[in-house]
Each structure stands twice: as C-alpha cells, then as structure tokens.
C-alpha cells in the first residue's frame, strides 16, 4: 500500500512516520521557530499519558449483538425504501382538489412524511452502521507546520524573482506605473453604467412632493370613495388615500407617500401652532401615515389617549400636539396635511404636505 507521508497509524501501532524521520523532530523544529508571545512554556508540564486502552463494543465481543446490529441497519435502509414508495403513493393518491384547502394540507403532510422516512432511514442506518459495525478504534495522523518547507519557499521566491527579471516589471517603472493607472481606471465606466438602474430624474425632487394638491378629495383606503366631513364622527379614524390614486399607473409609489390618517377630536383638545389654524376642519385632522423613522405605516390609533403607534419600531406620536414624537426612535412629527371641505361637504386637501413625508434623507431640508 502506497504511503502518504502523513503515515497513518493506529494508536497501538508504533507510530511509524514515513517520509519524515520522526514526529518529535518535526515538533521541536516548529516549536523552536515560533514565538510564544504571552504564552508560557513550562518545562514541568504534566506528561501526556498516551492513548488509553481500547474498549471494545458489545458488537465486537458478542456475535449475536453484531448480527442484531446488522439487521437493524438493514431494517432502517428498508424503512427508507418504504418511505420513498409511500411518498410516491401519497403524491398520486392525494392530489390537490379544486376549492378544497384541506387537500393541500393532506398532500403536504403525507408527501412530506414519506420523504422524511425515506431520508431518515438512510441517515440513521448509515450512522448506526458506522457506530456499531465499522472499525471504530481511533487512528492517528501527524500534523505538519502549515507553512511550506524552506526549500519550497525558496523555490517560490525564485519564481517571483525570475518573473520580475524576465518581465522587468520592477525595473521598467514607466510601464509598471502606466499599467497600474490603466487598471485603476478600467472599472470606472462599469460604475457609471449603474446610473441606468433608475430613471433620469432627481430623487430629491420626487421625494419632496406627493399627489396631494389643493382641492384633491380625501377618499377611503382602499375603495377610493370620497369622505364627507359629516361622516367623520368624533373619535373615529380613517385610512385615507387621495382621489384618483387608484387610476394611477404608479399607484404603489404614490400610495407609499400619500397615505394619510384622518381623525376627529374635540377642537379644544387640539394644540394648534401658529400658521396651522386653518389646517384642520372642526377638529378633523389629517396626518401622513408614513412613519418618519423608517417608513412603516403608522396604523395603530389609540382612541382614548389620541396617540398613534408605529407597529414596526414603536414610535409614538401625540395627535393632540400635532403628531409630536413622545416615545420611540422617530425624530420628527408626522407631517400634517392641511384640509378643509369643498362646496359639497367632502373633505379636500388645501395643498400638498408642506414638508417631505416619510423617513429622513440627507437632502431633506435642501
């Protein structure tokens, strides 16, 4: 048998180490070269007692147990065969029936259990075989230092030296430097190509506006039915989208900015700052539904406390104080949509939001 120089032996064997003289010689040379740093090398270490005596298994000692283990392994492989057949049978016998949701569950369950049996039978059988019947005493292999031998390393250095000499890359600096310059610049056009990932527009301008305009009616989300001011009773909250959103080609992009929550409070409960006196209509107020933290819909309204809660990261906004942040990671209040009513009594926007909605971005205040 051809021996690799690792010289595999059993612990009981006399640790033959073909190829290199002895294991200890190698150990000493590598230890001597490496700096232990903060490591302390004790000369008085406890001596390694060597390999313990081998304990044979039941299957090694008792032919009956050996035979039983053999049968167990074969049985597990047989179970695997049964499992695979059952899986096939389940595939055929339990199809998905139209309008029968239960048939999907049955198909998934039985097909899955069949395949499971097919897989586990092989797996458990193989492991049982290895643990009970295959030769189990441990073998030993010697390690070498990971670094190449001195001779190999010298050869490698020689390769690079020859490469340098024969090409002259170290000597001909003009060639070398111009090559480096050329290589540095080649990826630049590739980077430029990535501009094409998005259309030719300025994202900052897009993010500063929504679909809301003076006169846009507030409509129910998702039906698009306009909302009369008289429908908004005290204490109620409406999920709102702008009229005309459902007909837009870019419906989702517009909705992601324009979604609004409308609530009605007692007008005396609202703390209105200067300049916003006309933004509510008889205590009906509209705020952007897009969280100023990272953009989740702020969809939870606590009627009693007049707080809005973002279900993603738990920012809380106080509606009585113009959606001021009272808890959580958000930094800014929810933008308010100025609203009023039209001649037919429907709620309409007075204008777009006066600031960009949604999460912070670098050019937000520009």
Partner 1 sequence: MTAAESPRGGAVVKRRTATGSAANWIDERTSISGLVKELGRKIFPDHWSFMLGEVALYSFIVILLTGTFLTFFFQASMAEVTYDGTYLPLKGIDMSAAMNSTLHISFDIRGGLLMRQIHHWAALLFVASIGLHMLRIFFTGAFRKPRELNWFIGFILFVLAMAEGFTGYSLPDDLLSGNGLRIIDGLVKGIPVIGTWISYLLFGGEFPGTAIVGRLYTLHILLLPAILVAALGVHLVLLVINKHTQFAGPGKTNDNVVGVPIMPVFAAKAGGFFFIVFGVITLMASLFTINPIWLYGPYDPSPISAGTQPDWYIGFADGALRLVPHGLGFLIGPFTFSLNVFLPVVVLGLFIVIVAIYPFIEGWVTGDKREHHIADRPRNAPTRTAIGAAGVTFYAVLWAAASSDLIATHFGLSIEGVITSLQILLILGPIIAYLVTKRVCLALQKKDREIALHGYESGRIVRLPGGEYIEVHEQLSDYERWRLVSFEDYKPVMLRPDANGRISVGQRARARFSNWFFEDRIQPVSQTELEAAHGHGHAAIEAADSHAAVEGGH
Ranges within 233-292 binding partner 1 (CB under 8 A): 239, 241, 250, 252-253, 255-257, 259, 289-291
Tokens of 173: 């600096």
Kindly state whether residue 111 participates in binding partner 1, applying the rule CB under 8 A. yes
Residue 166 or 365 having the CB closest to partner 1: 365
Asked if 194 touches partner 1 (CB under 8 A), the answer is: yes
**Contacts of 246 by beta carbon, 8 Å cutoff, 6+ apart:** 222, 224
Question: Cα 116 vs. chain centroid, distance in angstroms?
Answer: 28
Spatial separation of the C-alpha atoms in residues 239 and 224, rounded to whole Å = 10
User: From the centroid of its chain, how far is CA 63?
Assistant: 53
Q: Is 306 in the site for partner 1 (CB under 8 A)?
A: no
Q: Assess 362 for contact with partner 1 (CB under 8 A).
A: yes
Cβ count within 10 A of residue 271: 12
Q: Considering the complex, what minimum distance in angstroms separates the CB of residue 151 from partner 1?
A: 19
Positions in 32-61 near partner 1 (CB under 8 A): 34-40, 42, 44-52
Q: Among residues 30, 320, 340, 351, which is the contact residue for partner 1, using CB under 8 A?
A: 30
Alpha helices in 62-100 (DSSP H): 63-93
Q: Which is nearer to partner 1, 17 or 350 (CB)?
A: 17
The only residue of 329, 346, 351, 355 in contact with partner 1, by rule CB under 8 A: 329
Residue in 163, 203, 215, 345 binding partner 1, rule: CB under 8 A = 203
> Could you give the CA distance from residue 261 to residue 298 in angstroms, rounded to a whole number?
9
Contact status: 115 vs partner 1 (CB under 8 A): yes
Choice between 94 and 340, CB closer to partner 1: 94
Chain position carrying tokens 């049996």 = 117
Does 312 help bind partner 1 (rule: CB under 8 A)? yes
- Residue 267's SS3 state is helix
- 86 counts as binding partner 1 under rule CB under 8 A: no
**Part of the chain binding partner 1 (CB under 8 A), chosen from 155-163, 166-174, 310-318, 335-343:** 310-318
Contact window for partner 1 (CB under 8 A) among 57-65, 148-156, 279-287, 355-363: 355-363
Between 118 and 338, name the residue whose CB sits nearer to partner 1.
118
Round to whole Å and give the CA distance between 263 and 284.
6
150-172 burial string, b = 16+ CB within 10 Å, else e?
eeeeeeeeeeeeeeeeeeeeeee
Which one-letter DSSP state was computed for residue 55?
-
Answer yes or no whether residue 26 interacts with partner 1 by CB under 8 A: yes
Range in contact with partner 1 (rule: CB under 8 A) among 58-66, 92-100, 157-165, 274-282? 92-100
138 binds partner 1 (CB under 8 A): yes
Binding of residue 99 to partner 1 (CB under 8 A): yes
Instruction: Choose the stretch contacting partner 1; rule: CB under 8 A; options: 54-62, 136-144, 184-192, 272-280.
Output: 136-144
Of 309, 325, 326, nearest to 360 by C-alpha is 325
C-alpha to C-alpha distance for 232 and 180, rounded to whole angstroms: 70
Stretch that binds partner 1, among 58-66, 140-148, 270-278, 338-346 (CB under 8 A): 140-148
Q: Is 295 in the site for partner 1 (CB under 8 A)?
A: yes
> How far is the C-alpha of 73 from the C-alpha of 123, rounded, in Å?
10
Q: How many residues bind partner 1 (CB under 8 A)?
A: 117
Among 71, 143, 171, 354, binds partner 1 (CB under 8 A): 143
* 11 near partner 1, judged by CB under 8 A: yes
Helix or strand (DSSP H, E) at 183: helix 173-185
- Residues 6 or more apart whose CB falls under 8 angstroms from that of 299 comprise 239, 261, 289, 310, 311
What would the two tokens of residue 29 be? 């040379």
């Amino acid at each position: 048998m051809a021996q690799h120089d690792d010289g595999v032996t059993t612990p009981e064997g006399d640790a033959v180490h073909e190829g290199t003289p002895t294991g200890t010689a190698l150990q000493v040379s590598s230890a001597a070269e490496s700096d232990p740093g903060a490591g302390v090398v004790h000369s008085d270490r406890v001596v390694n007692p060597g390999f313990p005596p081998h304990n044979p298994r039941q299957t090694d000692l008792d032919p009956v147990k050996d035979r039983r283990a053999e049968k167990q392994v074969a049985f597990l492989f047989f179970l695997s065969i049964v499992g695979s057949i059952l899986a096939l049978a389940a595939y055929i016998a339990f199809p998905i029936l139209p309008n029968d949701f239960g048939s999907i569950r049955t198909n998934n369950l039985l097909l899955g259990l069949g395949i499971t049996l097919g897989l586990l039978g092989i797996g458990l059988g193989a492991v049982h075989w290895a643990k009970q019947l295959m030769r189990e005493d441990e073998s030993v292999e010697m390690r070498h230092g990971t670094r190449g031998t001195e001779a190999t390393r010298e050869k490698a250095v020689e390769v690079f030296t020859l490469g340098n000499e024969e090409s002259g890359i170290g000597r001909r600096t003009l060639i070398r430097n111009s090559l480096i310059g050329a290589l540095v610049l080649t990826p630049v056009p590739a980077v430029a190509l990535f501009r094409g990932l998005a259309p030719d527009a300025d994202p900052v301008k897009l993010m500063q506006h929504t679909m809301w305009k003076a006169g846009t009616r507030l409509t129910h989300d998702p039906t698009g039915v306009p909302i009369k001011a008289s429908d908004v009773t005290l204490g109620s909250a409406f999920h709102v989208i702008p009229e005309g959103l459902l007909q837009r080609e870019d419906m989702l992009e517009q909705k992601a900015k324009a979604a609004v929550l409308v609530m009605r409070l007692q007008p005396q409960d609202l703390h209105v700052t200067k300049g916003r006196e006309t933004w509510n209509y008889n205590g009906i107020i509209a705020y952007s539904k897009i969280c100023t933290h990272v953009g989740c819909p702020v969809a939870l309204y606590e009627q009693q406390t007049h707080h809005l809660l973002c279900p993603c990261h738990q920012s809380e906004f106080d509606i009585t104080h113009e959606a001021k942040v009272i808890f959580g990671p958000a930094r800014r209040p929810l933008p308010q949509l100025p609203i009023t009513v039209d001649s037919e009594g429907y709620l309409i926007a007075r204008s777009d939001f006066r600031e960009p909605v949604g999460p912070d971005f670098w050019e937000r205040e520009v």
